[in-house]
Amino acid sequence: MNNVEFIMAGRRQRRRRWVLVTSLLTVLAMMLCCAMLLLGSTMYSVQDVIRALAGEQLKGVSFAVNTIRLPRMLAGLLAGFAFGVAGYVFQTMLRNPLANPNVIGITSGSSAAAVFCITVLHASGTVISVASVIAGLATAFLIYLLSRGRSFSIGRLILVGIGIQAMLDAVISYLLLMGAEQDIPAALRWLAGSLNGSQMQELPPLAITVILCTPIVVLLGNHLNILELGEQSASSLGMDTDSTRIALIVSSVFMIAIATATTGPIAFVSFLSGPIAKRLVGVGFSNVIPAGLVGVNLVLAADLIGQFAFAYRFPVGIITGLLGAPYLIFLLIRMNRKGEL
Give pLDDT tens digits for 78-104.
999 999 999 999 888 877 777 677 777
Hey, where are the domains in the chain?
3-337
Separation of alpha carbons 79 and 255, rounded Å = 8
Q: Model pTM?
A: 0.88
Q: Compute the C-alpha angle 140/151/287, nearest 5°.
A: 55
Q: What is the share, in percent, of the chain residues with pLDDT greater than 90?
A: 20
| pLDDT for the residue 83 | 93
CATH of domain 3-337: 1.10.3470.10
| pLDDT for the residue 7 | 61
pLDDT confidence tier of residue 296, bands split at 50, 70 and 90: very high
Separation of alpha carbons 324 and 266, rounded Å = 11
- Residue 255, H or E segment: helix 241-263
What letters, b where the CB count within 10 A reaches 16 and e where it falls short, cover 152-177? Answer: eeeeebbebbeebbeebeebbeebbe
Q: What is the share, in percent, of the chain residues with pLDDT greater than 70?
A: 87
pLDDT confidence tier of residue 30, bands split at 50, 70 and 90: very high
By the 8 A CB rule, do 305 and 319 touch? yes
Give pLDDT tens digits for 314-339.
889 889 888 887 877 877 777 667 65
Give pLDDT tens digits for 181-225.
888 888 887 888 888 878 888 899 899 999 999 999 988 877 777
| pLDDT for the residue 191 | 84
**Neighbouring residues of 295: CB distance < 8 A, sequence distance ≥ 6:** 80, 81, 82, 83, 84, 85, 87, 269, 270, 273
How far does CA 20 lie from the centroid of its chain?
23
165 or 6, greater pLDDT: 165
pLDDT confidence tier of residue 294, bands split at 50, 70 and 90: very high
Quick check: 69 pLDDT over 60? yes
